[in-house]
Structure 1
C-alpha cells in the first residue's frame, strides 16, 4: 500500500469535501471530468500522485479552481485562521508529470479573494491545461521572478522574462512552458469575483 503523504491527504480531503458538497458519486464525477472512477477513488484515499493536468480536470468537473484542491478545510478546528503564513507552514506540492513545484504562499483558511502561489518550473518542462475555469470572473497574473517562461493562452503566445507580468482570465486553454535550460520561478496572483 502506498504511503499517504500530508499533501496527498490534503488533496484527498479537499476532493471528498467538494464532491460531498455537490452530492456527486464517484461515477458522476468520473463522467463530469473524464477521470476514471478508480483513479478518483485512489486520489480520495491519498494513494495516488495525480498530475496537475488530472487535478485541473477534476477541478473543472467540480466547478472550482485547481487551488481549491490544495486548501485545508476551514471546518478543521485544529487549524487556526490567521492572517500570517510562515514560510515553514506553506504547503508545497510537486507535479509528478512535469516536476514543477507549487508552494501555496497565502495564509491557510484566511477569508480573502486573493491567493498567492510560488512556482519553480524545471528547464524544458511543459504543462497544458486544456480545461477552462468554471469560476466566473476568475483572474490571475503571472509575475516572473527569475528566468523565462512562454505562456500560450488560447491562440495568443507570450514570452516572459524576469520582471515581466502577464494578466489573464482562465477562460481559454493555457500552456506553461520553460524553453530554457534553467529553472524559472514565478508568482501567480489569483483574484476572484472583482470584474465582469
Structure 2
C-alpha cells in the first residue's frame, strides 16, 4: 500500500484507538482478522504499512471500515472531498482504491472507486457482520465478483448487490482497465447491543 501523503503513525494511532475502544486485545484481533499479532503491532507502531486487503481484514474484524482507520471523522453537515484529499491506496500489482466518502461519527459506510489494470486480481475480502450490505457498479471494463465462491461477471454499466456477510473477491480478467465503485454499509447491530 502506498500513498505519498499517507501517515503510518496516524494509521497506527487510529487502529490502536479503534481496537482499544472495542476492548479487543492484539491476540483477539489477530485471531478474528487472520493477520498476525506481530503485523498488527507493527502497524499500530507505524513501523509497517499493511496491504489494502490486510487493512480491510483488520477493519472488518473490528466491525468498522478501512476509511475510519485512514482518516479522522468529521461532523460537518456538508463535506467536500477534493481529489487531492481523498485517501488513495495503491497496491504493487497496480490497482488503486480511492475512498470517496468521509468518516462520520456513528456511521460505518464506505463509498470507493477502484481502478484495476487488465488481468489483475484485487483479492478476497472477509465477510462483514450480519446485516451488512454492499453494492458494486462497473463504470468501464469487466469485473468478476466472487461471492462465497460463486463468480459473477459484470461489464460496463452493470451493477449488483450482495449481503456483506459473505466473503467477496474482485478480479479484472478482461483485456482493458476496469473502473468500479463499491458502496458498503457495515452493520453495527451486534456491536451496539
Shared topology, TM-score over 0.5? Answer: yes
Indicate yes or no: 2:135 matched with 1:141.
yes
Total equivalences in the alignment: 184
CA-CA distance at 1:157 after TM superposition: 1.8
TM-score by length of 1: 0.79
1:80 and 1:171 map into 2 onto residues whose CA distance is: 28
Is contact 1:102-1:118 (8 Å) kept?
yes
Match of 2:162 among 154, 163, 168: 168
After the TM superposition, which of the residue ranges 143-152 and 119-128 deviates more from structure 2? 119-128
Asked whether the equivalents of residues 83 and 110 of structure 1 are also in contact (C-alpha less than 8 Å), the reply is: no
The aligned counterpart of 2:185 is: 191
Q: What whole-Å deviation, never above 9, does each CA across 1:10-67 have from its counterpart, x for those lacking one?
A: 4323211111102233233223323222211111122222123322332232232344
Gaps of 5+ in 2: 188-193
For 2:115, the equivalent position in structure 1 comes to 120
Contact 2:94 2:116 in 1 (8 A): yes
TM-score normalised over the length of structure 2: 0.80
Residues 79-88 or 28-37, more deviating: 79-88
Q: Distance in 2 between matches of 1:163 and 1:146?
A: 7
Do the aligned partners of 1:149 and 1:161 also contact (CA within 8 Å) in 2?
yes
The residue aligned with 2:44 is: 44
What is the root-mean-square deviation in Å for CA atoms of aligned residues? 2.7
Determine the C-alpha separation between the residues in 1 that align with 2:181 and 2:8: 23
Map residues 26-45 of structure 1 onto 2, 5 A cutoff.
26-45=26-45
Q: What are the within-5 Å matches in structure 2 for residues 1-196 of structure 1?
A: 6-70=6-70, 72-74=71-73, 81=76, 82-96=78-92, 98-109=93-104, 114-129=109-124, 131-134=126-129, 136-192=130-186
Structure 2 CA distance for partners of 1:192 and 1:63, relative to 1, 3 Å: closer
Cα separation, 2, equivalents of 1:30 and 1:191: 23
Offset from partner CA, 1:75-107 (integer Å, 9 cap, x none): xxxx673422222221111134x4321111123
